[in-house]
Amino acid sequence: MRPHFLSSVQNPTITLDAQPAPIRLELAKSAVLVVDMQNDFAARSGMLDRLGVDISMIQRSVGPTANVLAAARQAGIPVVYLKMSFCPDLSDLGAVDSPNRVRHLWAGVGESMRAPDGTQSRILIRDTWNTAILPELEPQVTDVVIYKHRYSGFYETALDAILQRMGVKTLIVTGCTTSVCVESTVRDAMFRDYHCVLLADCMGEPIGDGLPRSNHEASLLVIQRQFGWVSDSAELINALGQLIAEVAVA
């Protein structure tokens, strides 16, 4: 349920400073999208860490994302989680020679391992430690959690139908990784006429992190030029805080 201030204010809105231009958000038509912030991508002993990938830039995004989720929930903005995961029999991984299957098998999908909590688990398999959302960002009972088996959250999922039922037109996007699952989802969202606002400090990308212009930065540049808007967590949190304060004294 949305808190009293949202239900008592006619069409509550905020305006975010963003690139390429400020954007006005109707809160009743907005949702926060959390892309793949799960152990396999953002925790020690997860898939990326086991492959020797530096995940520090993803881990740095956890704190800002947690702050965004707290502010969004206080404002009554719904939260939708995406989780990259596959069925235990790998039936949704793709055909034998499909790029999705080949690349994920190379990364170890389906392999058994002992999770840090001592339980038996499997890499990128549903309902295991590996695909659980990070504890700092744990979904609440009122949040929506959607499994996906391709980089885009819209591919063969109920995401579009759920957002339409919720009346969502604007997605406030967080998650990982910026130039793979986040960008894939944002492109598909734009093709479906959603407005996407990416919070730059609430996402990370290991690929090209040491380049003069990282893949993270390049993806954000492409998105703000062609597919959406780019802002940050402080801008959103401050705008929501000002709105709540204004309503409280009205």
Structural contact between residues 222 and 244, judged by C-beta atoms closer than 8 angstroms: no
Known catalytic residue at 181: yes
Catalytic residue among 40, 83, 176, 181: 181
Put residue 117 in one of left, alpha, beta given phi > 0 → left and psi -120 to 50 → alpha: alpha
Catalytic member of 40, 83, 148, 176: 148
Residue environment code for 56-91, b if the CB has 16+ CB neighbours within 10 A, otherwise e: ebbbebbebbbbbbebbbebbbbbbbbbbbbeeebe
Spatial separation of the C-alpha atoms in residues 194 and 200, rounded to whole Å: 18
Is 176 labeled as catalytic in the residue annotation? no
Q: What one-character DSSP code corresponds to residue 250?
A: -
Q: Which has the closest alpha carbon to 84: 157, 191, 188? A: 157
Known catalytic membership, residue 29:
no
Give the whole-angstrom CA distance, residue 188 versus residue 41. 22
Q: Which residues are catalytic?
A: 36, 148, 181
